[in-house]
Structure 1
Amino acid sequence: MSQAAPDRIVIRRKKVQAHGHHGGAWKIAYADYMTAMMAFFLVMWLLSLIPRENLPGIAEYFRMPLMTAITGGPQMDNSRTVIPGGSPSVIPNKSPVPQRKSMSSEDAEDDRRDVQRLEDLKTDLEALIESNPVLRQFRPQLLLDMTPDGLRIQIVDEQNRPMFATGRAQVQPYMRDILRELGPMLNKLPNAITISGHTDALQYASGEREYSNWELSADRSNAARKELVAGGMNEQKVKRVLGLSSSVSLIKDNPNAAVNRRISLLVLNRRAERRIDAQDAVGESLANLKSVMEDSATPTPAHVDGNNAGVAPAEVPPAVVKP
């Protein structure tokens, strides 16, 4: 009898798969929780700064129905700020930033009349240029325009008709005639003026270290001031005399062009005068503060003791008086 085949033994091994790392989801949830807690404590801190009498108003704001906030209503906040209820803020500020005062109706009307007077002066100057034979021949060199700071009168150079001697502040005769004709016209208004000198971008051989276009433009603007005063302009009208070199060119693409050499007279409006006066007042305050600090830092002279009792004081040289 044949031998029976042995039974086949099948061994099944269960494959165990490693679970993935579970380190991401709880971190996101925890970060959201911490953010919410930080926002909560920030709100609580802000509420602690608000005076108790203002808390009902804030509570009333949060009780506002959604439709009232969308469509408007008697409880709607109409402040200009983008933050609801932020004009003015109910949170006290220990170091408030000074807000710009709104212009009153009287100041606005005064500024409007001032601009109108400058427009009238521009019209009178244009009529004078057309009627005056001295100014009419230089009409292409006279530019008049209104700026945010006032009426600007620019006397520009021409290649064949320069206003000053080359590289110097010596006024040419026809430039002297133009300035002396304009001088009396500037007395029509009480407005102050500024005088600015401009040059082209051509440099001196010595460069910027010695006499340069900065000094030249300043000297030319001061020479123009003298001619205006000689023509009859009140010298107290001059607010500033500036030398701007080639920093402000009429033709940006050609800084060496002749028209970039010019004298600019700006008849200031009231607003520009107030701004300049405020700037000067700040500078004067800083100068006074610096002077006080320097005086306080100056050491006091030592007291004379018994050892110096018989020593004569040193001679003080006499003060030098400028001629």
Structure 2
Amino acid sequence: MSKGGDKRPIVIRRKKVVHAHHGGAWKIALADFMTALMALFLVMWILSVSSDETRRSVAEYFSTPLITAVTGDRGGSTRAIPGGGPDPAHRDGERARIDISPQSRPSLQERRFFSDLQARIERAIELDPELRQLRNQMRFDLTREGLRIQLLDTEQRPMFQLGSDQVAPYMRNLLRTIAPLLNELPNDLSISGHTDSVPYAGGYRGYSNWELSSDRANASRRELVVGGLDPGQLLRVSGFADRVLLPDTAPTDPMNRRIELLVLLPEIAETIRDPGVLGADVPLPEAAVPEEALLPDMPQADVAE
């Protein structure tokens, strides 16, 4: 048995647990969620008590919000929400302007405007199972003249009957679907027809690719008008035969048989309407002709003194 003086003290070690402070991040997240939820119910309540005209104005605003941004005017709308919908773009004298020069690139705003138009057309095509198959035969690009939509031909799915301007049923449906979307834009429209280089039996002396391309462009114009396009919006309908081929394609490639819809920039449209003259007051250069050859020889008259 040990003595009392030999006892060792018992040391109990307890680990001190320090609770870290988590901050109030979860409170901020919860507040954001509640705010968004309250805004959602508020919007739903406003729409439920609003009139049909107000709801249509809201729908138009979110359907075409970029036209107002491109035109740069927010005071021309007569709708319930000023600046929304296509109304500002339909005012006289206004155009969706895209400033493009050979050395510059489209700005972000211009690209957004183009992407918005392309997205609308693609959504409309996606809703139709028949038109959905034609998506690979459409090309969208931005040129110096405006927004260009190309409808290309293929051997498996031609847009027109071979050698004629008779529109295929799916091409007719496509043009009539695009027409209302183009009609919402205030810009003028140009339609051009193109063919491949396969000639007619009679060559260019009779009915040729020139007539065929022009006839197909006019056939497309008629289908667009039937689909709802304003005829006054059409500025130019032309045929280029096989003179403007697609890059990196053979002259006989079926893709060169195409229809191009070009939404013209205001500057290009004005140039087409009024090409003007260059150097109207500058005399044309004359050929070096001897002075005696300018007038015929005439007998000299007697001068009275």
Match of 1:216, SS?
helix
Q: Deviations over 1:122-142 (max 9, x none)?
A: 232233233333321211111
| TM-score relative to the length of structure 1 | 0.51
Distance 2:157 2:234 in 1: 27
> Is 1:150 paired with 2:141?
no
Among 117, 120, 126, the residue aligned to 1:121: 117
1:137 aligns to what? 133
1:218 and 2:214 matched:
yes
**Amino acid of the residue matched to residue 262 of structure 2?**
L
Tell me if 1:160 matches 2:156.
Answer: yes
Distance in structure 2 (CA, Å) of the matches to 1:211 and 1:163? 20
Matched, 1:228 2:233: no
Tell me the CA shift for residue 145 of structure 1: 1.2
2-structure distance, mates of 1:110, 1:172? 34
| Equivalent in the alignment of 1:187 | 183
Structure-2 residue corresponding to 1:257: 253
- Give 1:224's aligned amino acid: S
The answer for the alignment partner of 1:209 in structure 2 is: 205
Counterparts of 1:162 and 1:209 in 2: how far apart (Å)? 26
Q: CA deviation at 1:276?
A: 1.6
CA deviations on 1:259-317 (whole Å, 9 max, x unpaired) are 110000001122221222221x559x9xxxxxxxxxxxxxxxxxxxxxxxxxxxxxxxx
* Aligned residue number for residue 236 of structure 2: 240
For structure 1, the residue ranges without an aligned partner over 5 or more in a row are: 1-104, 286-323
**8 Å Cα contact 1:115-1:150 kept in structure 2:** no
Q: What displacement does 1:110 show?
A: 5.1
Deviation string for 1:68-87 (max 9, x for gaps)? xxxxxxxxxxxxxxxxxxxx
Query: Aligned equivalents of 2:160 and 2:211: distance in 1?
Result: 14
For the residue of structure 1 that corresponds to 2:192, the secondary structure is: strand
Question: Does structure 1 retain, via aligned residues, the 8 Å contact 2:146–2:263?
Answer: yes
Larger Rg over CA atoms: 1
Amino acid at match of 1:157: D
Which one-letter code corresponds to 2:167 in the other structure?
Answer: V
User: Relative to 1, partners in 2 of residues 1:174 and 1:111: Cα closer, same or farther, differing over 3 Å?
Assistant: closer
- Give me the identity figure in percent: 46
Secondary structure of the structure 1 residue equivalent to 2:236 = strand
**Stretch moving more, 118-127 or 206-215:** 118-127
Structure 1 residue 115 displacement after superposition: 7.2
Pair 1:115–1:236, CA change in 2 (3 A): farther
Q: Please provide the CA RMSD for this pair.
A: 2.7
C-alpha deviation, 1:118, in angstroms: 4.2
- Alpha-carbon distance in structure 2 between the residues aligned to 1:193 and 1:121: 14
Q: Secondary structure at the match of 1:155?
A: strand
In structure 1, which of residues 191, 197, 203 is the aligned counterpart of residue 193 of structure 2?
197
1:174 matches 2:166: no
Gaps of 5+ in 2: 1-71, 74-93, 100-108, 281-305
What is the distance in 1 between the residues matched to 2:122 and 2:110? 19
CA distance in 1, matches of 2:110, 2:267: 9
Does structure 1 retain, via aligned residues, the 8 Å contact 2:124–2:177?
no
TM-score (norm 2): 0.53
- Quick one: distance in 2 between partners of 1:258 and 1:240? 24
Distance change in 2, residues 1:116/1:273 (3 Å): farther
1:203 maps to amino acid: P
